[in-house]
Amino acid sequence: MSYSGTPQPAPPPAYNYPSIPGTDFSRAPLDLFRTAVAAQVNRAIPTLSLDKIFDGVDILKKEGDFCVAMPRFRLGGKPDDWCKKVVDAFEPDECIESVKQAGAFLYFNAKPETFARVVLSTIERETYHTESKLPEYGLNKSGSGKSVLIEYSSPNIAKQFHIGHLRSTIIGQFLINLYQANGWKTIATNYLGDWGKQFGLIAVGFEKYGSEEALEKDAIKHLYEVYVKINKDADTDPAVHDAARAYFKRMEDGDESALKQWRVWREHSIEKYREEYARLNVHFDLYLGESTVSREYLNNAVDRLEEVGLVTGAEDGAKLIDLEKYKLGKAVVRKKDGTTLYLTRDIGGAIERYDKYKPDKMIYVISSQQDMHVAQFIKVVTLLGYPWADRLQHVNYGLVLGMSTRKGTAVFLDDIIREATEVMHEQMKKNEEKYAAVEDPEVTSRELGITAIKIQDMQAKRINNYTFNWTRMLSFEGDTGPYLQYAHVRLSSMARKNPELLPLPAAASINTDKISEPKAREIIMLLASYPDVVKTALDKLEPSGVVTFCFKLSHAISSAWELLAVKGEADVEKAQARLWLFLTAKDVLGAAMRLLSLTPLERM
C-alpha cells in the first residue's frame, strides 16, 4: 500500500494526443510531455512527422523544460523562420503552457501543477499498484517476446573467488537486471573454469597433500592450498606436469576413476560460490562449464571446421585455424594429444546453447584482455556459416589496478568484503543513537561495504581501467557507494519523522501547486527521466549512466532539505506535497539502486 493509504488509485487520465510507436504515457511521464511538444510543432509544420519531432525533443535545458533544435530537421530555408511559425501557431493545452524562441531553438514549458501531478502519481502507481505487486516504475516492454543469454562471472572451480572475476560478475548481473527492466526474458549463465590441465595438477597434488577432513571443512580453501603446493613442486620437477597432463587426458577420455574426485570438487565449489553470489545480489539460472560442452558438439565443431577448410595442421600434430587475413592470427583448436582448448569448447558450447535455448542474443561479459580470443571465437562461428552468429556480442571491460587488501595481501573477494564491512561498522558506531536503531548492524555494514565496492567499479565507463582506492571508496562524502546509501536512508527517514502527515491524501487530492519551486521542479524532472535512463543504458550496455543518475538525484535532494523543508512547515498542504515529493524520490532512487544490484538501506 502506498503512502496515501489508498488501496488502488484512479487509472491514469486519457490525453487527447496522437500515439507514437514506442511511447507509453502510463509508464513514462516524459513520453506524454514530449508527445505534447511534438503535437505543437506538428500542428505548425504538418510535413514534419510526429515521431521525428518526438526524437528531437530534449529535456533539462535551463531556458525551458523541453527544447527543440530546428536545424536538426533540415527543412530548408531558415530554421529561425520555422521556429517563428511554431510560436505563432502555439496554443496552450493541458500539458504545455508556453513556448519561446531563441534563434533556431524552441523552448517549451510544461504546466507546473500538471507536470508534478502526472510524474509523482505515475511513480506511486507504478511502484505500489502493479499487477505483479512489484515496483515497476522505469520498466518498459520493448523487449517483450525476446530472450538473451548472458555469460558472466566464470570463476575457476577449486579456487577461492578471486577479485579478478568481480567486474564480470557485477557488470553481468547489471545487464541481466537491465534486460529484464526492458522486457526481455533472461538466461543468466555462469560458465565455470572447470576443465583443463590444472585439474590434473590438483589431482596429482591431492594424492600428495590432500586431506578428506580438510576438504569437508572448507573445500575451496583446501584445494587452493593443494594447488599452490603442487605448483611449487612443478617448478623444480617437470614430471609433475607430465603426470597432470596424463591425468587430464584420462578425464577427457571419460575415465570414471579420474572424473569421480573432480565432480566432488566441482559441487563443493558451486556450493561455495552460491553463498558468495547471494551476498552480492547475484543469481544464475545455469551453472555450465567447459566440462559440460558435450563431446558430440566438440567433435562436430572440429569436423565442421575441417569441412569448410579452416583447419591446418601444425608441425607438432596440433590442429590450427588460420585467421591471419582477418588480422586475428592463428589459433589452436586441438592439441596433438587430441585434447581440446578453450576456443574449441567455446565454439561447441555456443552451438549447443543456441540449439537448446534459441536466444535472440548471446552476450559474453569478458575482460578486454581477452579481446583477441573472443574476436577469434565470434569470427570462427561466423565463418562456419551459422545464421545466428550476428547474435553473439562481446561486452568487455577494463582492469582493476592496485586491488589488494589494505595490508597488500592476496586478493580474494572474502577478504575485500570483510575489510570493507569492518570499516563501515566502525563508522556506524560513531553515532550511538542511530546505531542503536539499526536492526542488524553486521548485515547493514556489509551492505554498505558491498555498495562501496560495486559503485567504485561501475562509476566510470566499463572499458576504462580504474585504480582501486580504499580511502575514496569507503568515504561518505563525494560520489561514493556509502553516500548513495546515506541519501536513501535519509529519504526513508522522512516517513518516520513526519507521522502526523501520514497517510497522505490520495494522489489526486494533493495540491501540487505547492511544489512549484525551481528546486522541486529540478527533482521532478529527474524523477520523470528515469524511464529514459533505463532505455539509454540498454542502448549502451553501460552501468555508469545509471550510477550518474543516482548521484544527480542524490545531490539534487541533498540541496533541497532546507529549501523544501517538511518538518515545521505551517502550511499543511505544502508539507504534504513536499513529503510526497521526497517519498517518490526515495522510490525512484531505490529502483535505480536495485537495477545496479544494490540493496537500498532504510537505516544505518
CA dihedral of residues 288, 290, 296, 297 (deg, nearest 10): 80
Active site residue 162: yes
Long-range Cβ contact pairs of 215-218 (< 8 A, separation 24 or more)? 215/264, 215/268
If we measure between CA atoms, which residue out of 37, 51, 43, 16 comes closest to residue 96? 37
What residues contact 165, with CB distance under 8 A and at least 6 apart? 153, 154, 155
The C-alpha cell 575441417 sits at: 306
52, 129, 146, 162: which one is catalytic? 162
Cβ(529)–Cβ(60) below 8 Å: yes
Cβ(555)–Cβ(91) below 8 Å: no
Helix 238-252 and helix 219-236, axial crossing angle in degrees, nearest 10: 130
| Start-end of H helices in 77-196 | 79-89, 112-128, 166-181
Instruction: Give the distance, in angstroms, between the CA of residue 107 and the centroid of all CA atoms in the same chain.
Output: 34
The DSSP secondary-structure symbol of 103 reads: T
If we measure between CA atoms, which residue out of 422, 409, 374, 419 comes closest to residue 394? 374
Cβ(113)–Cβ(516) below 8 Å: yes
111, 159, 514, 586: which one is catalytic? 159
The DSSP secondary-structure symbol of 505 reads: P
The length of the chain is 604
Tell me, what amino acid is at 262? W
| Start-end of H helices in 210-294 | 212-217, 219-236, 238-252, 256-279
Active site residue 555: no
| Start-end of H helices in 90-143 | 112-128
Residues in a beta bridge with 393: 363
111, 165, 454, 488: which one is catalytic? 165
The 3-class secondary structure across 41-52, one letter per residue, is HHHHCCCCCHHH
Q: Which residues of 37-48 are buried (b: 16+ CB within 10 A; e: fewer)?
A: bbbbbbebbeeb
Active site residue 488: no
Helices (H) and strands (E) in the chain, counts: 21, 14
Residues in a beta bridge with 106: 68, 101
Cβ(110)–Cβ(96) below 8 Å: yes
Q: Is 146 left (phi over 0), alpha (psi -120 to 50) or beta?
A: beta
Q: What are phi and psi for residue 36, nearest 5 degrees?
A: -60, -40
Cβ(411)–Cβ(387) below 8 Å: no
Active-site residues, by number, are 159, 162, 165
